[in-house]
Amino acid sequence: MPLKETIDGAIKQAMLAKDKVRLTALRSIKSQILLAETAEGASASGLSADQELKLLNKAAKQRRESAATYQQQARPDLAQTELAELAIIEEYLPQQLTESDLVAKLVDIIQRTGAKGPSDLGKVMGVAARELSGQADGRRISDVVNMLLNNTDF
């Protein structure tokens, strides 16, 4: 079932349950879906699964960054709201890789690409970003690749 239909059903459930935080997060996702569908150059058949995944990752990243900013500004009330919405968005994302799984996959990618040092970061990141899309945050992937290419113990 397309993400839009899943979100529509979840919005109805949140309305019936009077769950305001869930409703806000779901409406935000639906808004982003509608904006993406009506954007110039968008496909008439709707969003692909890959586009839906990118949209959810972007929404999750926005919530993480906002929560971090609110925590830095000593606004735990607002940070808590952002983290609650993040948890709801993450329900619709694929399972994230654990640190050990991520390291194992990145070591495999480094071996396949023949990377030898930090100068090969771009080559590794291109493959890693494509293969691990949706399974790990880009910054997390970059940090682990940097550590591995610099032969730093993890």
121 located within any domain = yes
Handedness of CA 116, 120, 151, 108 (dihedral sign): negative
Check whether residue 86 and residue 103 sit in a common domain: no
Q: Are residues 78 and 49 in the same domain?
A: yes
Residue 123, in any domain of the structure: yes
Q: What is the CATH number of the domain that holds 74?
A: 1.10.1510.10
Q: Are residues 76 and 115 located together in one domain of the fold?
A: no
Note whether 103 and 58 are same-domain residues: no
Query: Which residue would you say has higher pLDDT here, 129 or 42?
Result: 129
Residue 152 has pLDDT above 50, yes or no: no
Helix ranges (DSSP H) in 46-98: 49-72, 76-90
Q: What is the value of pTM for the model shown? A: 0.73
- What pLDDT does 54 receive? 86
* Same domain, yes or no: 124 and 69: no
Q: What is the pLDDT of residues 27-59, one digit of tens each?
A: 999 999 999 888 877 776 778 888 888 899 899
Q: pLDDT at position 140, please?
A: 87
Domain's final residue, options 39, 73, 90: 90
Do residues 71 and 10 share a domain? yes
Residue 70: count other Cβ atoms within 10 Å of its Cβ. Answer: 18
- How many other C-beta atoms lie within 10 A of the C-beta of residue 147? 14
Mark whether 33 and 10 lie in a shared domain. Answer: yes
Higher pLDDT, 104 or 50: 104
How many whole angstroms separate alpha carbon 67 and alpha carbon 84? 10
Range of the domain at 58: 3-90
Mean pLDDT for 53-76 is: 93
pLDDT of residue 40: 74
CA distance 110 to 154: 15
**Residue 14, pLDDT score:** 95
Q: Does residue 9 sit in the same domain as residue 83? A: yes
* Mean pLDDT, residues 57-78: 94
**Residue 154 included in any domain:** no
- DSSP letters, 138-154, are HHHHHHHHHHHHTT---
Q: Is residue 136 part of a domain?
A: yes
Number of domains in the chain: 2
